[in-house]
Chains A and B, each alone.
With several copies, the nearest count.
Chain A
Amino acid sequence: MKTVVIGVIGADVHAVGNKIIDYVLSENGYNVVNIGVLSSQEDFINAAIETDAKAILISSLYGHGEIDCRFMREQCEEAGLDKVKLYVGGNIVVGKQDFNDVEKRFKKMGFDRVYPPGVKIEQALVDLKEDIGI
């Protein structure tokens, strides 16, 4: 059973999607470590180290995702998490923006997968299976 860390980054309290992600990934055979809302980069990284997680799924809904995610990849590497997959999804920037641009920005920041608003976790399951198996 593969472990994934999920949570909502920054000063973000959007809890609904997080609860659903927890439920759906668990139902689909993952060991889900849910650090919940209002989580810092350190919280994600510590949880991933402690549980030997194969992927970190960051949610950001409230718009500050771009600020909150800066240097996340670098922090992971510094902490020795150099193989962990980094996913980000939700409403990760402020406002309705062209998603191609947004994806590029986040990929450049070192994220492996970037999801546009409204992509349900059910749809991302395929990618997760492909990237880390079950």
Chain B
Amino acid sequence: MVKNEKLTMEEFLRIRKEILQGWPTGSHPALELDEAVKRLKSVPPHKNFALKLRKAKEQGVTLIQPRAGVARLDEHIELLQYLEKEGRADFLPSTIDSYTRHNRYENAEDGIRESDKQGRSLLNGFPAVNHGVDGCTKVYKNINVPIQARHGTPDARLLSEIICASMWTSNEGGGISYNIPYAKTIGLEDTIKYWQYVDRLVGYYYEQGIELNREPYGPLTGTLVPPSISNTVAIIESILAAEQGVKNITVGYGQGGNVVQDIAALKALEEQTNHYLKLFGYEDIFITTVFHQWMGGFPSNESDAMGLISFASTVAALGNATKMITKTTHESQGVPTKEANAQGLRASKMVVNLLKGQRMPDSKEIEEEINQIKKEVDSLIHAVVKAGKGDIAQGAVNAFKRGLIDIPFAPSEMNNGKVLPARDIEGKIRILELGCLAFTDEIKEFHHQKLAERAKIQNRKISIQMTIDDIYAISEGVLVGTEKG
């Protein structure tokens, strides 16, 4: 049974040896820990993700980061350089392709080969493991801002080793958030263990005096996820990371669409992450937040998309997120061209720049929504701890098994899959079908009330059709779905 306990150095090294044998690139000399430490120590502050986040937080600004990745190394570098220069990205990513995410390095190799042949990327991301330390280091060296791996990999141990040794100073993911939305049959216990390893690696580097950033993946399925559910997962993953020695964590949240709820969710997320970390005894963890521009189905019209992107940026800035992940006008169609990607970045940058220093004023309405989210998170975390008899790792596994936590629309069989969200009449995301969610009766009643109110105003029944209408709604240019005649 997995436990929230720091891996011993011994255990860590034992697993490490095995991991590095997963693919030939694992034998690169830079993967000697001493060598990797030396390399990481050479990273200047402006290229260190963790340190740049500290500075941004101090200055109260919202920095921006795209998603981006293509199969071929040189094309990938060109892409990132373009996004840095034309898009004014503050942070760069390498979005990893889906074969790599499933450790199918042979498929990825095929993809690279085929892409070379056709002269265009046939993979949906950058196959970092296949390109290995040399390729990834070349990427690092050819850009001037910090770089992070963004993926969705249940078992990202080899990938994480390679990127760290390549001086990539942040890594997205977590044992829950990179399993439930990204896998089907992989056990939660396994992925938590995999990610404990990844966190332990970051903890190890911290012991050597190197601060790296970790980012639990906030938006989960990106589709009408109620804030309390994603916040709970972020808090659990932060605790798991902290135990392994991670000190610099960015918790994430995906835009829901209602301004009040989104800003409340961001605030609640930051406050409760700090609160629970302290409560569990982790004292010196530096927390920042990342806001994801709308993660669900996008409108296909490019101007509509620009509107949505810029609207999201307004919310991120007013909500004082430290980082924002941007989308593009190609979102509904496919992996964006570098031009489309840069356009999304620039529009976003314009908005956060204009809003520098501006905040959503405190108000009763936001306060109430913060309290609601916090109450729900408390209820869920309580259940998790109880389900694990005090151990949060065990608790998470059991809670998912029993549906005490349940992520809407997730493909994983480890997920109960009973929860159905829907918007209330104001567009706030509420829960229509609560499944076995560990909510108090008061909370359950609240959600029911909110949807009953919508049903009444829209003159319709509370039903799954609401959920479906809401899934389509934003891509059709409205927030709250309505029944088509």
Contacts and interface: CB of A to CB of B under 8 A. Distances in A.
Question: Is chain B in direct contact with chain A in the complex (CB below 8 A)?
Answer: yes
Contact of A38 (B114, B184, B336, B475): B184
A63 B475 contact: no
A129 interface: no
A14 B295 CA distance: 12
A120 B472 contact: yes
Contacts of A37: 184, 411
Contact of B221 (A15, A38, A96, A120): A15
Contacts of B464: 23
A67 B114 contact: yes
B122 A64 contact: yes
A30 interface: no
Contacts of B120: 94
Tell me what chain B mostly uses at the interface: helix, strand, loop, or mixed. loop
A91 interface: yes
Shortest beta-carbon contacts, A-B, top 9: A63-B124, A15-B411, A96-B333, A95-B334, A37-B411, A11-B98, A11-B102, A38-B184, A13-B411
22 contacts: A11-B101, A11-B104, A13-B152, A13-B411, A14-B411, A16-B223, A16-B471, A19-B409, A20-B471, A23-B468, A38-B102, A38-B184, A38-B411, A66-B122, A67-B114, A91-B333, A93-B334, A95-B121, A95-B333, A95-B336, A118-B300, A118-B332
Nearest to B182: A13
Contacts of B221: 15-16
Contact of A11 (B107, B185, B333, B468): B107
B181 A62 contact: no
B110 interface: yes
B410 interface: yes
A36 to B, nearest CB: 7
A16 B99 contact: no
Contacts of A97: 334
B336 A12 contact: no
B96 to A, nearest CB: 12
A38 B182 CA distance: 10
A95 B182 contact: no
A10 interface: yes
B374 interface: no
B123 A96 contact: no
B98 A64 contact: yes
Contacts of A91: 333-334
B335 interface: yes
A96 B336 contact: yes
B292 interface: no
A63 B471 CA distance: 21
B223 to A, nearest CB: 5
B384 to A, nearest CB: 23
A80 interface: no
A14 B411 CA distance: 8
B183 interface: yes
A11 B110 CA distance: 14
Given A13-B184, A64-B99, A94 B409 contact: no
B439 to A, nearest CB: 23
Which of A13, A14, A20 has the largest number of chain B CB atoms within 10 A? Answer: A13
Contacts of B330: 95-96
A29 interface: no
A133 interface: no
A91 B334 CA distance: 6
B471 A67 contact: no
A11 B185 CA distance: 12
A12 B98 contact: yes
